[in-house]
Structure 1
Amino acid sequence: MDTLKISATANGLNYLPEYVAAEGGLFAARGLTVTAKACDPWTGVLDDIESREADLALGGLWVPAMYAGSSRALSVVGQLNHKFPMTIVSRTETAPISPDQLAGKVVLAPGAGGSAPYEFTAGLIREAGFDVSATRFVRDLSTAMLIELYKSGLGDAIILDLVSAKELVADGFGTIVFEHLDAGVMPNSVYYAVSERIDELSDRVDRFMDGIAAAMVKITSGTADAEIEAVLASRWPDKDASLLRAAADEMAERGVWDSAVIDRDASDRWMRILDEGGLVTHPATLEELLGSSSTVTA
């Protein structure tokens, strides 16, 4: 049995296919023992793959994009999220909105775990032809802190992951008025490695990503109920099980786990948004992001 070590930026419901693959023996069936940990702060994933404590990092595609062309060479080897499962919860609005309707509002945008919630939202505003500066964003603080402040009265709306948003609504603090899932394909969470290790890891990575793809099929086809229930109970024992399952079912039904293959047009769009936001030196092509990896094509 070969070993593959994963260092992740979080313990998130959007990572469900990896957890289901482990729970259901899909990695073991491919001759792999997969170990994983979540880093706090999330930037520890970079240290882990550099020191070889981990073989792969799991996190946002924006990270390899920011390092593209730098001395830290990173190569993407697979995709875990085909769409971006974030939402906007409003304190006062009850009907669905478009991003341009955030003008004149104060919007809380958690960023301690990464820049994507704000940057993708800002990108959608620019795509619609509106001025991002018309909205006042409160950024760079943790999700827990901004939820607490929102409940205390700060801000008109807050950008949240699907689980946190459903919890906030259930507690009576607003309505989900926008879902980023409606904004089309967006390669969100991906696996990446130090580029110089790609050849060494290629066989294990191929089997690993095959297991991820198989787990996606099980989840989206409705044949992974036992594995999903076991994962939810073990990873989030203190959360409302029905709410967790509702969020997982929505992600499955709405395309978050439709493919382990990065969509070229969606990648180019995300790179353009990051470039417009000033986060990258240039909008990296998919070939640059994949580097010497041959396990993903578009």
Structure 2
Amino acid sequence: MTDLIRVTPSGLSVIYTPHYLAEDMGFFAAQGLKVDSSVYAGPGSSWLSDNLTSGKADVAMGGIWIPLAYREIVAELPIFAMINARNPQIILSREPVENFTWEHLYGKRVVLPMESTSQWMFLRGAMLEVGAGIDRIRFIRDLHVETTTTMWRAGFGDFYLTTPPLSHKLVDEGAFVATTIPECCGPVPWSVYYTTPQFLARPDNAAGRYAAAVEQSLRWVLAQPVEEVAKAVGPRFPDTPPELITRSLRGIIDAGTWQPSVAIPRGSFDRYQGIIAEFGLINEPYAFDMVVAAAPAEYAASVSRGVS
């Protein structure tokens, strides 16, 4: 018998390749799960948690900040597995930049598309951690990515925060990589899975089996030539050239975005909580064990040991 798991995911992106391949290559099926990832997350993925609390979905895939912000005012939504261990964004420039520092942005226009609250919150927090003068930079925010990309191509802005594969496409058009967020801002549990206490407590260990499938997919992706991964995930992106998908995946892998474990790292999680608290979405960081459910990742690790 196969158990149906309804997932509400953030928007289509190559950074979620391990999730897509867990569906397409049978890793979920091997755990006796049928995953339906069609529950729409809304504009800017703003309905992820609402889909859980309303009963439309069993699992959400997105950032840690929404379940933390919801915790004491809307609902408890335990985080139980990680898919992305880095923020994969890239800062582009119009001219080559050597030995990037935040001072390169001083007095400049830095364009940040309106993709998610987390992009600005994390960038701002990481800069404040090292004493960068964010008040010396003109940030242009809250415009849709299609608008900002059109404006960038027309010559607006000095630096542009983008995500692969758009970043690679713009480099092909003449832009330069000033730095990457993994390089200048370090590890962060960027994309995670969270759920309701009821789903977590299911006697069939659905959360553990789900985590195990994702971990097997992560390990498969990391063990293959990037060209094979691109070929496998290519049908998900029919309008993107295979070469662009391959370059995007190579950069994501080289940056350490995917790890062979779905376990949430306590250190980087607590660091990100500090950034979220300083931003004002939560009053103060929570105790790790209060908001992160470790059992599913532990089960996934036991399955991986058995497979290996």
- TM superposition shift of 1:39: 2.8
Is the contact between residue 65 and residue 276 of structure 2 (CA under 8 Å) also seen in structure 1?
A: yes
SS at match of 2:21: helix
Is the contact between residue 89 and residue 178 of structure 1 (CA under 8 Å) also seen in structure 2?
A: yes
Task: Give the AA of the match of 1:10.
Answer: G
Tell me the TM-score normalized by structure 1. Answer: 0.91
Is residue 2:110 matched to residue 1:116?
no
Task: Give the AA of the match of 1:179.
Answer: T
Change (3 A) 1:201 1:279: farther
- Cα displacement string for residues 48-72 of structure 1 (whole angstroms, at most 9, x for unaligned residues): 2122221111111121222232232
- TM superposition shift of 1:189: 0.5
- TM superposition shift of 1:210: 0.5
Residues in 2 aligned to 1:280 and 1:89: alpha-carbon distance in whole angstroms: 31
Is the contact between residue 230 and residue 245 of structure 2 (CA under 8 Å) also seen in structure 1?
A: no
Task: Give the AA of the match of 1:243.
Answer: L
- TM superposition shift of 1:10: 0.8
Q: What pairs up with 1:124-139 in 2 under 5 angstroms?
A: 124-139=126-141
- Cα displacement string for residues 144-191 of structure 1 (whole angstroms, at most 9, x for unaligned residues): 22111211222111111122111111122x111111121321100011
Residues in 2 aligned to 1:93 and 1:281: alpha-carbon distance in whole angstroms: 41
Residues in 2 aligned to 1:227 and 1:179: alpha-carbon distance in whole angstroms: 22
Residues in 2 aligned to 1:85 and 1:286: alpha-carbon distance in whole angstroms: 24
Partner of 1:158: 160
- Please give the root-mean-square deviation of Cα atoms over the aligned residues, in Å: 2.1
Q: What pairs up with 1:48-59 in 2 under 5 angstroms?
A: 48-59=51-62
Long gaps (5+) in structure 1: none
Task: Give the AA of the match of 1:277.
Answer: F
- State how many pairs are aligned: 294
Is the contact between residue 199 and residue 206 of structure 2 (CA under 8 Å) also seen in structure 1?
A: no
Is residue 2:101 matched to residue 1:98?
yes
Long gaps (5+) in structure 2: 299-308
Is the contact between residue 227 and residue 246 of structure 2 (CA under 8 Å) also seen in structure 1?
A: no
Is residue 2:213 matched to residue 1:177?
no
Partner of 2:72: 69
Task: Give the AA of the match of 1:282.
Answer: E
Task: Give the AA of the match of 2:85.
Answer: H
Task: Give the AA of the match of 2:131.
Answer: G
Is the contact between residue 230 and residue 242 of structure 2 (CA under 8 Å) also seen in structure 1?
A: no
Residues in 2 aligned to 1:278 and 1:102: alpha-carbon distance in whole angstroms: 25
Is the contact between residue 220 and residue 253 of structure 1 (CA under 8 Å) also seen in structure 2?
A: no
Select which of 188, 195, 211 maps to 2:197.
195
Change (3 A) 1:203 1:228: farther
Residues in 2 aligned to 1:228 and 1:239: alpha-carbon distance in whole angstroms: 11
Change (3 A) 1:100 1:67: farther
Residues in 1 aligned to 2:213 and 2:279: alpha-carbon distance in whole angstroms: 35
Is the contact between residue 4 and residue 34 of structure 2 (CA under 8 Å) also seen in structure 1?
A: yes
Change (3 A) 1:170 1:10: same
Residues in 2 aligned to 1:256 and 1:125: alpha-carbon distance in whole angstroms: 20
Tell me the TM-score normalized by structure 2. Answer: 0.88
Residues in 1 aligned to 2:104 and 2:279: alpha-carbon distance in whole angstroms: 20
Change (3 A) 1:202 1:289: farther
Is the contact between residue 86 and residue 159 of structure 1 (CA under 8 Å) also seen in structure 2?
A: yes
SS at match of 1:6: strand
Partner of 1:240: 241
SS at match of 1:252: helix
More off after superposition, 254-263 vs 222-231: 222-231
